[in-house]
Amino acid sequence: MKNLLRPTARRVGLAAPEGAWWKAGEPPWAEPAGVKAGAAAVCNICHWAGDAFIGPYHTEMGACPKCGSVGRDRFLLWCFTRRTPHRRRMRVWETSPRLDAAYRSAMRHWFDYVASDFDLSAHEGDIRIDLQDIALPSASVDVLLTPHVLEHVPDCDRALRDIHRVLKPGGRMYLQVPLCYGTTRAPSEPEFHADNTPVVLNFGWDLTDRVRAAGFETRVLVTDEYRDIVAGTVPAPGSNGDGFHVEDLVAHGRPADLEAVADRDTARRNGFLPAYHYATWECLKPG
């Protein structure tokens, strides 16, 4: 039985007290002051700045010492706030957020925000939702953030169609999965990602086909370096045992589907390294 994900900041008690880090009133799309100050590490979630994140660079590590975010948390919010119009009170729905009550309080300060989970066990949520049968009205959500959930859903195509239904015309989904392989495959043995629900599929770049079949226009948001690795304009690093099969990712990559949203300096400062750990599908419902 596999568990591919390493311990996260939430499990080692790094999260800040509820509401402690958004009272200064900085909106989530504002540039943290530490960027202008030249800080080596900056958290775009809580706007902490310092010398380094806690732990090595990894999508599940590199924890912020103030809010407990890890690399993928920061990249998800980065993609959302850099690509979505800056508008307060948008209806934002997030599935199984990894971060705690302080994060949810901050999101509610700026958005009409609700968090959901399938069984309300491994993750906290305001409501219980099955993505295969979403109990929300049609065209009722502006933005869906769904990190590392779709791989656990038995009928992911049905889920994508129902997500398309509940998004407003012009609405967006920011979809993250552990992109460890170039093409989609089922686990060879029971696999869990620090959750109570098994992994059904390990997605590859061909997830794009499923997203488009559900009615979305989509691009895969990556860093400059990852785009260049897939395009073959810079050498690809070798796989190093971290669960990401770099050679397979490069062999099946689709450069035309990629859009870079963070240059090398931004990626280093925010902890979006190694580059091949970071990909987020931006899915737009035409309208």
| pLDDT at residue 14 in the model | 38
Separation of alpha carbons 1 and 120, rounded Å: 23
**Is residue 151 one of the residues assigned to a domain?**
yes
Residue 211: phi and psi, rounded to 5, are -65, -45
**Is residue 25 one of the residues assigned to a domain?**
no
Q: Are 202 and 178 in contact (CB under 8 A)?
A: yes
Q: Are 136 and 159 in contact (CB under 8 A)?
A: no
Q: Are 50 and 137 in contact (CB under 8 A)?
A: no
Domain of residue 116 covers: 72-284
| pLDDT at residue 146 in the model | 98
* Vertex 55: Cα angle to 238 and 177 (nearest 5): 60
> How many distinct structural domains can be found in the chain?
1
| pLDDT at residue 105 in the model | 87
**Is residue 251 one of the residues assigned to a domain?**
yes
* DSSP for residue 237: P
Q: What is the pLDDT of residues 152-170, one digit of tens each?
A: 999 999 999 999 999 999 9
* DSSP for residue 256: G
Separation of alpha carbons 270 and 264, rounded Å: 10
The enclosing H or E element of 227 equals helix 224-231
Give CA separation, 149 vs 47, 74, 86, 199, 269, in Å.
26, 17, 26, 9, 27
| pLDDT at residue 197 in the model | 83
Separation of alpha carbons 238 and 5, rounded Å: 20
Give the residue from 113, 190, 200, 185 showing the smallest Cα distance to 148: 200
| pLDDT at residue 122 in the model | 61
| pLDDT at residue 1 in the model | 31
Separation of alpha carbons 274 and 79, rounded Å: 17
Residue corresponding to tokens 């895969």: 220
| pLDDT at residue 77 in the model | 97
**Is residue 20 one of the residues assigned to a domain?**
no
Q: What is the pLDDT of residues 167-179, one digit of tens each?
A: 999 999 999 999 9
Question: Any idea what the CATH number is for the domain that residue 222 is in?
Answer: 3.40.50.150
**Is residue 3 one of the residues assigned to a domain?**
no
**Is residue 24 one of the residues assigned to a domain?**
no
Which residues does the chain have with pLDDT short of 70? 1-25, 120-123, 194
Q: Helix, strand or coil for residue 167?
A: strand
**Is residue 37 one of the residues assigned to a domain?**
no
**Is residue 46 one of the residues assigned to a domain?**
no
